[in-house]
Amino acid sequence: MAVLQVLNVSKRFGGLQALNDVNLSVEQGHVHAIIGPNGAGKSTLLNCFVGKLVPDTGSVMFDGKSLLGIKPHEINQLGVSRVFQTPEIFDDLTLLENVLIPSFAKRDGGFKVNWWPRVDRERVVRDHAESVLQEIGLYEKRDEVAGSLSRGDKRRLEMAMCLSQDPKLLLLDEPTAGMSRADTNATIDLLKGVGEARGITKIVIEHDMHVVFSLADKISVLAQGTVIAENTPELIKGDPRVQEAYLGGPQE
Protein backbone atom coordinates (compact mmCIF):
# COMPACT_ATOMS: atom_id res chain seq x y z
CA MET A 1 0.00 0.00 0.00
CA ALA A 2 1.34 3.43 -0.89
CA VAL A 3 1.75 5.79 2.02
CA LEU A 4 2.69 8.72 -0.14
CA GLN A 5 1.33 9.08 -3.63
CA VAL A 6 2.67 11.86 -5.84
CA LEU A 7 0.79 12.37 -9.11
CA ASN A 8 1.80 14.63 -12.00
CA VAL A 9 3.41 17.27 -9.81
CA SER A 10 4.88 20.27 -11.60
CA LYS A 11 6.41 23.41 -10.18
CA ARG A 12 7.81 26.39 -12.03
CA PHE A 13 9.89 29.25 -10.62
CA GLY A 14 9.83 32.04 -13.16
CA GLY A 15 11.55 30.62 -16.18
CA LEU A 16 12.80 27.52 -14.45
CA GLN A 17 10.78 24.33 -14.61
CA ALA A 18 11.87 22.88 -11.27
CA LEU A 19 9.54 19.89 -11.33
CA ASN A 20 7.99 18.47 -14.46
CA ASP A 21 5.21 15.92 -14.14
CA VAL A 22 6.72 13.99 -11.26
CA ASN A 23 5.11 10.72 -10.21
CA LEU A 24 6.18 8.87 -7.13
CA SER A 25 4.72 6.19 -4.95
CA VAL A 26 6.22 5.31 -1.59
CA GLU A 27 5.27 1.98 -0.06
CA GLN A 28 4.48 1.43 3.57
CA GLY A 29 7.59 0.51 5.55
CA HIS A 30 9.97 1.17 2.67
CA VAL A 31 13.01 3.34 2.59
CA HIS A 32 12.60 5.28 -0.59
CA ALA A 33 15.60 7.24 -1.82
CA ILE A 34 15.42 10.15 -4.18
CA ILE A 35 18.68 10.83 -5.90
CA GLY A 36 19.79 13.04 -8.70
CA PRO A 37 22.40 15.61 -9.66
CA ASN A 38 22.44 19.10 -8.21
CA GLY A 39 19.51 21.19 -9.30
CA ALA A 40 17.46 18.16 -10.25
CA GLY A 41 14.60 19.36 -8.08
CA LYS A 42 15.02 17.03 -5.09
CA SER A 43 14.65 19.71 -2.46
CA THR A 44 11.78 21.33 -4.33
CA LEU A 45 9.99 18.01 -4.33
CA LEU A 46 10.60 17.52 -0.62
CA ASN A 47 9.30 21.01 0.09
CA CYS A 48 6.08 20.05 -1.66
CA PHE A 49 5.61 17.23 0.84
CA VAL A 50 6.02 19.38 3.94
CA GLY A 51 3.84 22.33 3.01
CA LYS A 52 6.61 24.80 2.31
CA LEU A 53 5.79 24.87 -1.40
CA VAL A 54 2.56 24.22 -3.24
CA PRO A 55 2.93 22.57 -6.64
CA ASP A 56 1.43 24.34 -9.63
CA THR A 57 -0.32 21.21 -10.79
CA GLY A 58 -0.71 17.64 -9.62
CA SER A 59 -1.51 16.10 -6.27
CA VAL A 60 0.33 14.82 -3.21
CA MET A 61 -1.66 12.31 -1.19
CA PHE A 62 -0.51 11.06 2.18
CA ASP A 63 -2.46 8.30 3.85
CA GLY A 64 -5.41 9.07 1.62
CA LYS A 65 -5.40 12.82 2.39
CA SER A 66 -4.21 15.59 0.12
CA LEU A 67 -1.24 17.56 1.45
CA LEU A 68 -1.73 20.51 -0.86
CA GLY A 69 -2.41 23.85 0.78
CA ILE A 70 -1.90 22.48 4.28
CA LYS A 71 0.53 24.25 6.60
CA PRO A 72 3.75 22.57 7.73
CA HIS A 73 2.58 22.07 11.30
CA GLU A 74 -0.65 20.46 10.14
CA ILE A 75 1.24 18.08 7.90
CA ASN A 76 3.42 17.14 10.82
CA GLN A 77 0.34 16.46 12.90
CA LEU A 78 -0.78 14.03 10.20
CA GLY A 79 2.35 12.03 10.90
CA VAL A 80 5.10 13.43 8.68
CA SER A 81 8.36 14.41 10.40
CA ARG A 82 11.40 15.80 8.70
CA VAL A 83 15.13 16.05 9.22
CA PHE A 84 16.85 19.09 7.73
CA GLN A 85 20.00 19.27 5.70
CA THR A 86 21.74 21.12 8.50
CA PRO A 87 20.30 19.92 11.81
CA GLU A 88 17.54 22.22 13.01
CA ILE A 89 17.29 21.89 16.76
CA PHE A 90 16.56 24.18 19.68
CA ASP A 91 20.09 25.36 20.37
CA ASP A 92 19.37 27.17 23.64
CA LEU A 93 17.42 24.34 25.26
CA THR A 94 18.62 21.13 26.84
CA LEU A 95 18.53 17.87 24.95
CA LEU A 96 15.66 16.62 27.05
CA GLU A 97 13.65 19.76 26.35
CA ASN A 98 14.42 19.37 22.66
CA VAL A 99 12.75 15.98 22.69
CA LEU A 100 9.95 17.05 25.04
CA ILE A 101 8.73 19.69 22.59
CA PRO A 102 7.82 17.31 19.76
CA SER A 103 6.39 14.91 22.33
CA PHE A 104 4.09 17.62 23.69
CA ALA A 105 3.23 18.66 20.15
CA LYS A 106 2.21 15.08 19.43
CA ARG A 107 0.05 14.91 22.56
CA ASP A 108 -1.43 18.42 22.64
CA GLY A 109 -1.77 19.16 18.94
CA GLY A 110 -0.82 22.33 17.12
CA PHE A 111 -1.78 24.73 19.88
CA LYS A 112 -2.77 24.43 23.51
CA VAL A 113 -2.35 26.94 26.30
CA ASN A 114 -1.20 24.28 28.68
CA TRP A 115 0.14 26.70 31.25
CA TRP A 116 -0.80 25.22 34.61
CA PRO A 117 0.93 21.82 34.73
CA ARG A 118 4.65 21.58 35.29
CA VAL A 119 6.85 20.13 32.61
CA ASP A 120 8.75 18.01 35.12
CA ARG A 121 5.51 16.59 36.50
CA GLU A 122 4.30 15.41 33.09
CA ARG A 123 5.55 11.91 33.82
CA VAL A 124 4.20 10.11 30.76
CA VAL A 125 5.64 12.54 28.23
CA ARG A 126 8.87 12.79 30.16
CA ASP A 127 9.40 9.05 30.37
CA HIS A 128 8.69 8.81 26.69
CA ALA A 129 11.20 11.52 25.81
CA GLU A 130 13.83 9.97 28.06
CA SER A 131 13.33 6.55 26.52
CA VAL A 132 13.80 7.99 23.05
CA LEU A 133 17.02 9.69 24.16
CA GLN A 134 18.13 6.39 25.64
CA GLU A 135 17.40 4.60 22.41
CA ILE A 136 19.37 7.09 20.36
CA GLY A 137 22.23 7.12 22.83
CA LEU A 138 22.05 10.68 24.08
CA TYR A 139 20.47 10.03 27.46
CA GLU A 140 23.66 10.81 29.37
CA LYS A 141 23.77 14.28 27.86
CA ARG A 142 20.08 15.05 28.46
CA ASP A 143 20.74 18.13 30.60
CA GLU A 144 23.30 19.70 28.33
CA VAL A 145 22.50 22.61 26.10
CA ALA A 146 21.86 21.35 22.60
CA GLY A 147 23.87 24.10 20.92
CA SER A 148 27.09 22.73 22.37
CA LEU A 149 26.73 19.32 20.73
CA SER A 150 28.94 18.11 17.89
CA ARG A 151 27.37 18.09 14.48
CA GLY A 152 26.94 14.35 14.52
CA ASP A 153 25.19 14.49 17.87
CA LYS A 154 22.98 17.32 16.65
CA ARG A 155 21.89 15.08 13.82
CA ARG A 156 21.14 12.28 16.28
CA LEU A 157 19.19 14.66 18.46
CA GLU A 158 17.15 15.83 15.51
CA MET A 159 16.45 12.23 14.68
CA ALA A 160 15.37 11.62 18.26
CA MET A 161 13.01 14.59 18.05
CA CYS A 162 11.39 13.11 14.96
CA LEU A 163 11.22 9.61 16.39
CA SER A 164 9.61 10.83 19.58
CA GLN A 165 6.60 11.74 17.49
CA ASP A 166 6.30 8.20 16.21
CA PRO A 167 5.80 9.44 12.66
CA LYS A 168 4.25 7.45 9.85
CA LEU A 169 6.60 9.03 7.37
CA LEU A 170 10.07 10.38 8.00
CA LEU A 171 11.66 12.71 5.46
CA LEU A 172 15.43 12.93 5.50
CA ASP A 173 17.06 15.73 3.53
CA GLU A 174 20.66 14.68 3.01
CA PRO A 175 21.06 13.30 6.51
CA THR A 176 24.79 12.76 6.13
CA ALA A 177 25.70 15.99 4.34
CA GLY A 178 29.03 17.30 5.55
CA MET A 179 29.67 14.32 7.80
CA SER A 180 32.86 12.36 8.12
CA ARG A 181 32.88 8.76 6.92
CA ALA A 182 32.65 7.49 10.50
CA ASP A 183 29.70 9.74 11.31
CA THR A 184 28.04 8.76 8.07
CA ASN A 185 28.31 5.08 8.91
CA ALA A 186 27.01 5.72 12.39
CA THR A 187 24.03 7.55 10.90
CA ILE A 188 23.33 4.70 8.51
CA ASP A 189 23.32 2.26 11.41
CA LEU A 190 21.10 4.59 13.35
CA LEU A 191 18.62 4.91 10.53
CA LYS A 192 18.59 1.19 9.96
CA GLY A 193 18.24 0.36 13.61
CA VAL A 194 15.53 2.74 14.75
CA GLY A 195 13.73 2.74 11.48
CA GLU A 196 13.35 -0.98 11.09
CA ALA A 197 12.31 -1.60 14.65
CA ARG A 198 9.38 0.75 14.22
CA GLY A 199 8.59 0.11 10.60
CA ILE A 200 8.63 3.81 9.74
CA THR A 201 8.37 4.69 6.09
CA LYS A 202 11.26 6.91 5.06
CA ILE A 203 12.10 9.12 2.16
CA VAL A 204 15.80 9.90 1.89
CA ILE A 205 17.24 12.57 -0.33
CA GLU A 206 20.91 11.91 -0.71
CA HIS A 207 23.99 12.58 -2.75
CA ASP A 208 26.08 9.91 -1.15
CA MET A 209 25.58 6.69 -3.11
CA HIS A 210 27.09 4.66 -0.33
CA VAL A 211 24.29 5.81 1.97
CA VAL A 212 21.64 5.31 -0.65
CA PHE A 213 22.63 1.80 -1.53
CA SER A 214 23.00 0.70 2.08
CA LEU A 215 19.57 1.99 3.05
CA ALA A 216 17.12 2.14 0.21
CA ASP A 217 14.52 -0.40 -0.74
CA LYS A 218 13.65 1.62 -3.79
CA ILE A 219 15.26 4.51 -5.61
CA SER A 220 13.81 7.27 -7.75
CA VAL A 221 16.23 9.15 -9.94
CA LEU A 222 15.38 12.76 -10.59
CA ALA A 223 16.99 14.77 -13.37
CA GLN A 224 15.96 18.19 -14.58
CA GLY A 225 12.72 18.01 -12.69
CA THR A 226 11.58 14.63 -14.01
CA VAL A 227 11.76 11.13 -12.62
CA ILE A 228 13.88 9.29 -15.16
CA ALA A 229 13.98 5.98 -13.35
CA GLU A 230 12.38 4.26 -10.39
CA ASN A 231 13.52 0.86 -9.29
CA THR A 232 15.35 -1.27 -6.75
CA PRO A 233 18.97 -0.34 -6.00
CA GLU A 234 20.40 -3.24 -7.95
CA LEU A 235 18.57 -2.34 -11.10
CA ILE A 236 19.22 1.37 -10.74
CA LYS A 237 22.93 0.73 -10.57
CA GLY A 238 22.94 -0.76 -14.04
CA ASP A 239 20.51 1.66 -15.63
CA PRO A 240 22.20 3.54 -18.49
CA ARG A 241 19.83 6.51 -18.22
CA VAL A 242 20.92 7.07 -14.63
CA GLN A 243 24.54 6.94 -15.53
CA GLU A 244 23.95 9.39 -18.31
CA ALA A 245 22.09 11.78 -16.03
CA TYR A 246 24.90 11.71 -13.53
CA LEU A 247 27.69 12.01 -16.03
CA GLY A 248 25.89 14.56 -18.12
CA GLY A 249 24.72 16.63 -15.19
CA PRO A 250 26.95 18.84 -13.09
CA GLN A 251 29.06 16.54 -10.97
CA GLU A 252 30.00 17.35 -7.43
Partner 1 sequence: MFGLNRGDTLLLLLVAILTALAPFLLNPFPEGSSLAQFNGGYPDLMQRFVIFGIFAIGFNILFGLTGYLSFGHAAFLGVGSYAAIWMMKLLTMNVIPAIILSVIVAGLFSLLVGYISLRRSGIYFSILTLAFAQMSYALAYSVLTPITGGETGLQPKLSDPRVLDTMLGADGTSRANLFGLEMGQSWQMDWNGWVFTFNTGYYVAAFVMLIAFYLSIRIFRSPFGLMLRAVKTNQNRLNYTGVNTKPYTLAAFVISGMYAGLAGGLLVAMDTQVGPERMFWTASGEVVLMTILGGVGTLIGPVLGAGLIKYMENILSKINEGLLEKWFAFMPETAGDIVVTVLALFTGKGWHLTLGLIFMLVVIFLPGGLVGGLIQGGRRMFRTGDRSADRKVKSNQTPPTSTPVE
Q: How far apart are CA 153 and CA 175, in angstroms?
A: 12
Strand order through the sheet with 80-83 = 80-83, 169-173, 201-205, 31-35, 218-223, 226-231
Q: For the chain, report the end-to-end CA distance as a whole number of angstroms.
A: 35
Q: How far is the CB of 88 from partner 1 (least distance, A)?
A: 4
* 154 contacts 87 by C-beta, under 8 angstroms: yes
- Burial (Cβ within 10 Å: 0-12, 13-18, ≥19) of residue 5: middle
Q: How far apart are CA 234 and CA 84, in angstroms?
A: 28
Specify the residue, 68 or 228, whose C-beta has the smaller distance to partner 1.
Answer: 68
Q: How far is the CB of 25 from partner 1 (least distance, A)?
A: 23
Q: How far is the CB of 170 from partner 1 (least distance, A)?
A: 12
Specify the residue, 147 or 248, whose C-beta has the smaller distance to partner 1.
Answer: 147
Q: How far is the CB of 155 from partner 1 (least distance, A)?
A: 10
Specify the residue, 121 or 240, whose C-beta has the smaller distance to partner 1.
Answer: 121
Residues in the site for partner 1, rule: CB under 8 A? 50, 71-74, 76-77, 81-82, 84, 88-93, 97, 100-102, 104-106, 108-120, 122, 143-145, 147-148, 150-152, 154, 161, 165, 178-180, 183
Q: How far is the CB of 140 from partner 1 (least distance, A)?
A: 11
Q: How many CA atoms lie within 13 A of 7 on its CB side?
A: 12
Triad 100, 66, 125: Cα angle to 5°: 15
Specify the residue, 68 or 101, whose C-beta has the smaller distance to partner 1.
Answer: 101
Radius of gyration for the chain, computed over Cα atoms and rounded to the nearest angstrom: 19
Q: How far is the CB of 55 from partner 1 (least distance, A)?
A: 19
Q: How far apart are CA 102 and CA 167, in angstroms?
A: 11
Q: Give me the torsion for CA of 84, 197, 190, 251, rounded to 10°.
A: -60
Specify the residue, 12 or 142, whose C-beta has the smaller distance to partner 1.
Answer: 142
Specify the residue, 70 or 219, whose C-beta has the smaller distance to partner 1.
Answer: 70
